Amino acid sequence: MTEFVLHPRLTADTTPVADWALSRVLLMNDARYPWLVLVPRRHDAVELFDLSGPDRRVLIEEVARAGRLLKGISGATKINVGALGNLVAQLHVHVVARHSGDPAWPGPVWGHGAAVPYAASARDALIAKIVAAG
Amino acid sequence: MTEFVLHPRLTADTTPVADWALSRVLLMNDARYPWLVLVPRRHDAVELFDLSGPDRRVLIEEVARAGRLLKGISGATKINVGALGNLVAQLHVHVVARHSGDPAWPGPVWGHGAAVPYAASARDALIAKIVAAG
């Protein structure tokens, strides 16, 4: 069993929030949308069907938990969930709080314009809220 | 318990393939990408966290099954999975076979250009393959 190592692109684009039972939980450094990325700590998973059934059951619960939590914190209009991986193969699931009228609304956030980095204080405050609600 | 009724937009954009244990399986009428849409037959679900835990466990298995099946049929580079619902609130999960160099690659398919409808014969042949592989 090879050790789990986060893909360098995910490391560069996010700040770690927590390790849940299966997933490393990351905050995307984009102040336009409250946006978590869940990365199952399985070094070789690319597709959902690469995970074991038990891992998938944990993952879907963690995705639901992340969505419920972001909805509660942000009052989102809709939670968007996506596992694309066209650029970064390592299996990761985006959970994004969308608001009617946000910069990409009603389209998807992926590939829409450039990220707007958080001020460190705003980022840390949001992470604290997520951890408290988590 | 209110009866499940498919959203008219989903009805208009797709062709029914099968009813699995939880989800109605639909083929998106867009010949650019082999693209299934899974709609849990629960009339009031909008977010993943609206489903019961047992329903979520079935759904993630059906999403994995759809992805494995599309990968096998199409030789996709990557399976993309998304639950957005910004336009159609009824909970539905897209499972899309992506190929390096397809019209939206490496971006998301949602909101990218106009659908290219199948010829009826090509659509029916693909549905037959999906049902056989399913």
- pLDDT per residue over B17-37, tens digit each? 999 999 999 999 999 999 999
Which residues of B fall within a CB distance of 8 Å from A79? 47-49
Is B86's CB within 8 Å of A106's CB?
Answer: yes
- The candidate with the shortest Cα–Cα distance to B59, out of B27, B20, B17, B26, is B20
What domains can you pick out in chain A, each with its CATH number?
8-133 (3.30.428.10)
| Mean pLDDT value across residues A16-22 | 98
**C-alpha distances out from residue B94 to A3, A30, A69, B84, B124, Å:** 31, 25, 23, 9, 20
Is B81's CB within 8 Å of A83's CB?
Answer: yes
User: Are the C-beta atoms of residues A61 and A96 closer than 8 Å to each other?
Assistant: no
Which residues of B fall within a CB distance of 8 Å from A49? 64-65, 67-68, 71, 79
The chain-wide mean pLDDT, for chain B, equals 97
Beta bridge partners of A40: A23
Q: Dig out the tokens for B115 from the structure.
A: 């659908």
Reduce the secondary structure of chain B to three states and give it as a string. Answer: CCCCCCCHHHHHHEEEEEECCCEEEEEECCCCCCEEEEEECCCCCCCHHHCCHHHHHHHHHHHHHHHHHHHHHHCCCEEEEEECCCCCCCCCEEEEEECCCCCCCCCCCCCCCCCCCCCHHHHHHHHHHHHHHC
Q: Does the pLDDT of residue A2 top 80, yes or no?
A: no
Buried b (16+ CB within 10 A) or exposed e, A107-133: bbbbbbeeeeebeeeeeeebbeebeee
* Structure-token match 């939590």, residue found: A69
Is A111's CB within 8 Å of B108's CB?
Answer: yes
- pLDDT per residue over A27-85, tens digit each? 999 999 999 999 999 989 999 999 999 999 999 999 999 999 999 999 999 999 999 99
Q: Does the pLDDT of residue A1 top 70, yes or no?
A: no
Here the ipTM equals 0.97
A75 — contact with chain B (CB < 8 Å)? Answer: no
Q: Shortest Cα distance from A85 to chain B (angstroms)?
A: 7
A9 — contact with chain B (CB < 8 Å)? Answer: no
| Mean pLDDT value across residues B57-69 | 98
pTM (predicted TM-score)? 0.97
A75 three-state secondary structure = coil
Which residues of A fall within a CB distance of 8 Å from B105? 86
A85 — contact with chain B (CB < 8 Å)? Answer: yes
